[in-house]
Amino acid sequence: EKSRIGVTGLAVMGANLARNMARRGFPVAVHNRTTSKTTEFMKDYGDEGAFTGTESLQEFVDALETPRKIVVMVKAGKPVDAVIDELAPLLDSGDIIIDAGNSHFPDTDRRAAYCEERGLRFMGIGVSGGEEGALNGPSIMPGGPQEAYGEVEEILTAIAANVDGTPCCTHVGPGGAGHYVKMVHNGIEYADIQLIAEAYDLLTHVAGLSAPEIGTIFEEWNSGDLESFLIEITGIVLAKTDEKTGKPLVDVIVDQAEQKGTGRWTAIDALDLGVPLTGITEAVFARTLSNLRDERREASTTLGGPTPGSGKNRDELVEDIRQALYASKVVAYAQGFAQMRAASQANDWDLDLGAMARIWRGGCIIRAQFLNRITEAYESHPDLDNLLMVPYFTEAVANAQDAWRRVVVTATEQGVAIPAFSSSLSYYDGYRRERGPANLIQGLRDYFGAHTYARTDADGKFHTRWSQDGSEVAAD
Ligand code: NDP
CA distance linking residue 54 with residue 60, whole number of Å: 5
Domains 5-175 and 182-431 share a fold: no
Tell me the CA–centroid distance for residue 9 and ligand 1, in Å: 6
The overall pTM is greater than 0.80: yes
CA distance linking residue 441 with residue 433, whole number of Å: 16
Of 233, 124, 139, 228, nearest in space to 185 by CA: 139
Name the DSSP class of 142: E
Residue at 333: amino acid letter: Y
Residue-range domain boundaries for the chain: 5-175, 182-431, 438-475
Residues (pLDDT < 50) of the chain are none
Tell me the CA–centroid distance for residue 74 and ligand 1, in Å: 3
CA distance linking residue 111 with residue 105, whole number of Å: 10
Tell me which of 75, 111, 132, 135 to substitute to probe ligand 1's pocket, judged by most ligand atoms within 8 Å of the beta carbon. Answer: 75
Per DSSP, the residues of 260-322 read -SHHHHHHHHHHHHT---HHHHHHHHHHHHHT-HHHHHHHHHHS--PPP---S-HHHHHHHHH
| Residue-level pLDDT at 369 | 87
Site residues for ligand 1, CB cut-off 6 Å: 9-14, 32-34, 37, 73-76, 79, 82-83, 101-102, 127, 130-131
| Residue-level pLDDT at 115 | 98
Provide the ipTM. Answer: 0.98
| Residue-level pLDDT at 164 | 93
CA distance linking residue 157 with residue 162, whole number of Å: 9
Of all protein residues, whose CA lies closest to atom 18 belonging to ligand 1? 79
Homologous superfamily of 182-431 in CATH? N-(1-d-carboxylethyl)-l-norvaline Dehydrogenase; domain 2 (1.10.1040.10)
- Judged by phi (left if over 0) then psi (alpha if -120 to 50, else beta), residue 466 lies in alpha
| Residue-level pLDDT at 29 | 98
- Judged by phi (left if over 0) then psi (alpha if -120 to 50, else beta), residue 171 lies in beta
Tell me the CA–centroid distance for residue 147 and ligand 1, in Å: 27
For every residue of 360-387, which 3-state class applies, written as one string?
CCCCCCCCECCHHHHHHHHHHCCCCCCH
State the CATH class of domain 5-175: alpha beta
Closest atom of ligand 1 to 128 CA is: 43
Of 400, 291, 389, nearest in space to 337 by CA: 389
| Residue-level pLDDT at 313 | 86
- Looking at domain 438-475, which CATH architecture does it have? Up-down Bundle (1.20)
| Residue-level pLDDT at 168 | 98
| Residue-level pLDDT at 311 | 65
